[in-house]
Amino acid sequence: MRGNISIIGAGTAGLIAARELGRSGIYAKVYDQKKVLGYPVRASGIVSIRGLASIGVDYGKAVTNTLYGARIHAGKSVMRVKSSAPVAHVLERQMLNELCREQAAEAGADISLNERITPERISEIKGEDGIMIGADGAVSTVAKHFRMGPLADHVITYKAEFEMDVKDTTSVDLFFDREYRGLFGWLCPNSDDRLEAGIGIMPGRMNAKQAFDRFVRNDDIAGMVDGARMTNGQASIIPMRLRRRIVDEKNKVLLVGDAAGQVKPTTGGGIVFGGNGAIIAARAIQGHLERGRSLMEYDASYKKRFSADTRMHSMINKLYTRSGTKGMDFGIRIMNAIGMASLLGRYGDMDSPTKTMMNVFSGKQRVTE
């Protein structure tokens, strides 16, 4: 194999980048500070079926549940969006990481665990002419070392699982409230005996665990999870906007996944955007090594593919963040009155608002499994 790429971070984005490079005959070594890949699990895993197909992960063994829709709550109003076909899978994140690792290893990448990369180590590993991918999450050591700008926006999160009999496993519940400005609270049926509750808020007013405690004390939710054992509580952060620079051409450094801020700002979901970012980055590296193309092609190709959707996701996020509970309650009543739930159920694409609009106007129903 030719080339020698170092990848910092063996999350989904780093491993997908290693797999893509390996399949093009380019050698990559992936470093991660964790002793056990993907553990502890700080994040949940609702991923659209169409999005999963786009990142090429053989995810079957990681599926714990399948979703057909969502209930969106604000104040006293609820909008029920339901599709006749499956929309998304709930994935066990540690298993998803393991499946990505298998693919990367099969493609020829080496994965070194239990190795925290410090700024000093970055220079040693990379050497003068080497190419490095920073796939080291939102608090990226690589981005900081190469001064690629701060994360412009982020939310803080807390999530935990309740062991209980889950009555409806087909829909996720999203709760909008001015208390949880920035994102929302969620209840996700991970399986028929595990319900995940989580919250994402703007940093500042309270910490994520305090917001979570308030969220699960809310009358509707407290009644539901009363007496259930709570496990796997974890705090984390989600970037909400693309980092100012995702390529440092001079130093030959590319950021992918959360390190680059590749998420959709309506939900904070980053597996599909970050996975595609990793694929696009690997192609740009291949073009650079084989034809001397600029690594900046990565930046241009990512933005070409995702800018319009990211902008629309950001607009929707701003709309619900600024509306407050009353505004959202009113918005939901209007959307119910005009039949928006049924339109979204039939034509909605949870990753792509632009595709949703095109589907509505062309009358083309969403394609699923």
Ligand X SMILES: Cc1cc2nc3c(=O)[nH]c(=O)nc-3n(C[C@H](O)[C@H](O)[C@H](O)COP(=O)(O)OP(=O)(O)OC[C@H]3O[C@@H](n4cnc5c(N)ncnc54)[C@H](O)[C@@H]3O)c2cc1C
Instruction: Give min distance, CB of 260 to ligand X, in A.
Output: 8
The answer to whether the peptide bond before residue 40 is cis (omega within 30 degrees of 0) is yes
- Cβ atoms of 37 and 98 within 8 Å: the answer is yes
DSSP assigned state of 36:
S
Structural tokens at position 198 = 């989580």
Instruction: Give min distance, CB of 236 to ligand X, in A.
Output: 4
- Which residue lies nearer to ligand X by CB, 31 or 162? 31
Instruction: Give min distance, CB of 43 to ligand X, in A.
Output: 3
Instruction: Give min distance, CB of 272 to ligand X, in A.
Output: 6
Binding residues for ligand X, rule: CB under 6 A, are 8-14, 31-34, 42-47, 116-117, 135-137, 141, 157, 159, 198, 236, 238, 257-259, 263, 268-272, 274
- Cβ atoms of 265 and 71 within 8 Å: the answer is no
- Which residue lies nearer to ligand X by CB, 4 or 336? 4
Instruction: Give min distance, CB of 290 to ligand X, in A.
Output: 26
> What number of CA atoms fall less than 13 Å from residue 191's CA on the CB side?
9
- Which residue lies nearer to ligand X by CB, 14 or 182? 14
Structural tokens at position 39 = 């553990």
- Cβ atoms of 248 and 140 within 8 Å: the answer is no
Instruction: Give min distance, CB of 268 to ligand X, in A.
Output: 5
- Which residue lies nearer to ligand X by CB, 331 or 348? 348
- Which residue lies nearer to ligand X by CB, 174 or 341? 174
- In sequence order, what DSSP letters do the residues of 109-176 get, joined into one string? -EEE-S-PPPHHHHHHHHTTT-EEEE-S-SS-HHHHHTT----S-EEEEEEEEEES--S--SEEEEEE
- Which residue lies nearer to ligand X by CB, 140 or 359? 140
Cα dihedral 197→327→241→139 (10° resolution): -40
